[in-house]
Amino acid sequence: KMPPLRQAASSQSIEVKGKKKDRLLLILTRLNDRDTQRPAAEELSIFIQDLDVDSIPYALTSLCSTGSDQKVYARKECARALGMLFSEAASPSVREAVMLHAGHVSRICNQMKKLMQDADSTVRDTAAVSLAGICRAMQASGVYAVNPALRVILDSLSEHKKELVAAACNSLGLAAPGLNNLDPNLAKDIIRRVVSCGTASAGGSGGSGGSGGSGGSG
C-alpha cells in the first residue's frame, strides 16, 4: 500500500496534470472563436514555454489532432506551437525530451506534412516554417543519423501534390542554411532540389496558394 504522504503527492500531481490538460483544451477552444483567438494564441505560446516533460504526451495528442473541422487560425497556431517545442521558447528539458523520443519526433513531423497539404495557404506556410525550424534543430542536435524532419521534407518533394511540393520547397529553402555535416551525396541531392524548387517557383507556380483567401480566421 502506498504511504499516505506519497499517496497525497500522487493525487496532487494527477490534479495538477488535469488542470493543465483542461487549460490546453480551453486554449484550443478559444482559438476557434474569432473573438478570443488572438489572446488564445498568446496563451498557447505561454503554455509551451511553461510545459514540463510529463505533460508532453497529452500536449502532443491535443496539438496533433487538429483537422479541417477546426478553424484556420487554430490549425495555423497548432502548427506554430509544435515547432516551438524544438526552439528556445520551450525549456531545455522539454526540447531534449521531445528530440530524444523518436515517436514524438515522427508524430510531429507527420503532422507537419499533413498541415503542409492544408486547404489554406497560411496553414501550409506556417507548417513549412515550423518543419524547417524542426529540421535545423534536429540537425544541430546530431541525435539521429538521418534527420527525420529532413526526410519528411524530401519525401514530400517526391509527392504529386502541388501544394505539398510548394510547401516542402519553402521548408527546404528555410532549413538549408542549417544543414551542416551532411553526407556529400545527400548534400548534392539537396542542392539539386533547392535549385529545382527555385526553377519551379520562377516558372509560375505562385498560384498554388490560391485558397488562402478562405482562411480568414473564420
- 191 pLDDT band (50/70/90 cuts)? confident
What is the per-residue burial (b if ≥16 Cβ within 10 Å, else e) of 122-134?
bbbbbbbbbbbbb
pLDDT for 57 beyond 60? yes
CATH topology of domain 22-203: Leucine-rich Repeat Variant (1.25.10)
Closest residue by Cα to residue 173 from 199, 147, 204: 199
Predicted confidence (pLDDT) per residue in 22-44, tens digit: 999 999 999 999 999 999 999 99
- pTM for the whole thing? 0.82
Q: Domain-by-domain residue ranges, the chain?
A: 22-203
Buried b / exposed e along 92-115 (16+ C-beta atoms within 10 A): eebbebbbebeebbebbbebbbbb
More confident residue, 12 or 28: 28
Alpha-carbon torsion (88, 128, 202, 119), positive or negative: negative
111-124 pLDDT, tens digit each: 999 999 999 999 99
Please say whether the beta carbons of 112 and 79 come within 8 A: yes
Cα–Cα distance between 139 and 84 in angstroms, integer?
16
